[in-house]
Amino acid sequence: MSTSTRSPGRPRSSVDAEVFAATLRTVHELGYTRATVDRIAAAVGVAKTTIYRRWPTKGALITACLVDTFGPLPLEPGDTRDDVMAKAIRYGAAKIGEPGVAAAFAGVFTDAISDPDLREILSTQLQDPYKSVLQEALGESEQRVLFVIDVVIGTLLHRMGMTGRPMVEPDVKALIEMIQRQL
Amino acid sequence: MSTSTRSPGRPRSSVDAEVFAATLRTVHELGYTRATVDRIAAAVGVAKTTIYRRWPTKGALITACLVDTFGPLPLEPGDTRDDVMAKAIRYGAAKIGEPGVAAAFAGVFTDAISDPDLREILSTQLQDPYKSVLQEALGESEQRVLFVIDVVIGTLLHRMGMTGRPMVEPDVKALIEMIQRQL
DNA sequence: GAGATTTCGCTACCAGAAGTATCGATACCG
DNA sequence: CGGTATCGATACTTCTGGTAGCGAAATCTC
C-alpha cells in the first residue's frame, strides 16, 4: 500500500537540483524576463520539453525554485521569542541576498498579482510553512504573523529592487529591533 | 531667453493623462506582462508609435505612470512627526490600493532589479522626492528615511502580491504605530 | 499664403520568448 | 522480449517589444 508502486516506463532523470541551480544562475545573470526557459534548459543540458514536462509554466518553475531555495528556518529548542525573530529575519535577509533570488521573487510576484492560481501556489507552498512555524514558535495569531512576514520580506525585497543590493547590516539590525518591539 | 521658444513643427497632442489612465486600467485588467503597449495605445485611441515617441520603453512608460499617480504628500504645516508618518503611510496605502498601481509597481521592480538604468529612473524620479520631503519634515537622516520607505512600501506591496488585496485597516494602523515607535 | 518642420496614424516588419506537437531513441519493469 | 513513459531534437504557432518608412495633418516663420 506504500507509494512503492512505480509507474512503468522510463523513469524521470533526476535533474531537479541542477535545474533549480541553473534557473537561479540564469535569472541572476539575465534578469527574470530574459531568463528564458530555453536558456535554462541549455544551461542544464536538457531539452526545453523536459522542463515543461515537470513544470507547466515558467512561473511555476520559478516558484518551485524559490520553495526549494527557502528551506526550513534554522531554529533551536531553547530560542526565545527575540531569538526566533532575529534568526528568521537574518535567514530571510541572507536568502534574499543570494544571487538571483530577489529577481526571481519579484518576477513571480509580478505575475501573481494578476494570476490567482500562481498566488495560491505562492501563498500555500512558500508562505504557509513559515507562517505555521512562526505561529508555533511565537504563540502569536495568524494575523500578526502574516503582518510580520509582510514587513520582513517586503522590506528586504524593496531594498533589493531599489538599490540592487542586499540590505546592509545596520539596517537589518534596525529591522530586527523594530519587529521585536512590535511583537 | 525664457523657454517660450517653441520648437517648430506640429505640436504634440496632449494625451499623457489619457495614456496614464489607460495604462493603469490595462495593467489592472490584464496584469503587467499582458498589458502590451499595443493594447494601451488602442485603449487611448492612439498609435503605438505615438507612445514610443514619448517613452522609450515599456518600463519607462510604467514608471512615468507611477510618478504621475503618486503625487505630492498631503502634509500640512502644523503636522507633528507622528502626523507626518501617519499621513504618509495612509497616503501610500491608498495609492497602492488603487487598481493597477501595485501590479505596475511590481512589474517595474522586476525589471529594475536587473536593469540599472531603470533602477536609476525609479530611484530618482519616484523615491527621491518623498525622501527629501520626509527628511525635511521629520528631521531624520537619509539612511533612516530610506529605511522607513523600504518598510512602508515594501510591506504594502508584499501584502498586495500575496493576497491580491490592499492591506486592511487594522494592519495599516499597526504599521503606522510600528513606524512611529521606530523613529 | 508658402515653406519648413515636426508629429500624427498606419502598416509592415524583426527578433525573441512562451508553450505545443511530433518523432525516433532510450531506459526501466515484468 | 513487450509495454510504457521519458528522453533529446526539431519545428511550429502565437504573442510581444521595439523599429522603420510612409503620406497626411498641424503649427511656426517669413
Strand C within 7 A of A36 CB: yes
pLDDT tens digit string along A103-160? 999 999 888 887 888 888 889 989 999 999 999 999 999 999 999 999 999 999 999 9
Assess whether B181 (CB) lies less than 7 A from strand D: no
Which chain A residues touch B106 with a CB distance below 8 Å? Answer: 106, 109-110, 113
Helix (H) or strand (E) holding B182: helix B169-182
Residue A94 and residue A80: Cα distance in Å, rounded? 21
B97 or B117, which is more confident: B97
Cβ of A53 less than 7 A from strand C: no
Q: Which three cell numbers stand for residue B11?
A: 505640436
Pick B31's closest partner by Cβ from A103, A114, A150. A114
CA B56 – C1' C4 distance (Å)? 27
Contact criterion met (CB < 8 Å) for B119 and A155: no
- Strand C and B12 CB separated by under 7 Å: yes
Q: How confident is the model at residue B118, as a pLDDT?
A: 84
Asked if the model's pLDDT at residue B152 lies above 60, the reply is: yes
CB contact under 8 A, B122 and A162: yes
**B41: how many CB neighbours lie within 10 A of its CB?**
20
Q: Say if residue A46's pLDDT is above 70.
A: yes
Instruction: Please answer whether residues A87 and A29 qualify as being in contact, where contact means their C-beta atoms are separated by less than 8 angstroms.
Output: no
Q: Which residues contact B19 (CB under 8 A, 6 or more apart)?
A: B40, B44, B46, B51, B54, B61, B65
pLDDT (mean) for B67-81: 95
| Residue A4 confidence (pLDDT) above 60 | no
Answer yes or no: are the C-beta atoms of B88 and B39 closer than 8 Å. Answer: no
User: Residue B128 pLDDT more than 60?
Assistant: yes
Rg for chain A, CA atoms, rounded: 18
* Structure-block grid coordinates of residue B125: 524620479
**A166 to chain B: closest CA residue:** B113
Pairwise CA distance, residues A158 & A79, whole Å: 29
- State the pLDDT at residue B32: 95
CA distance A73 to A75: 6
pLDDT, position B6: 67
pLDDT at B5 over 90: no
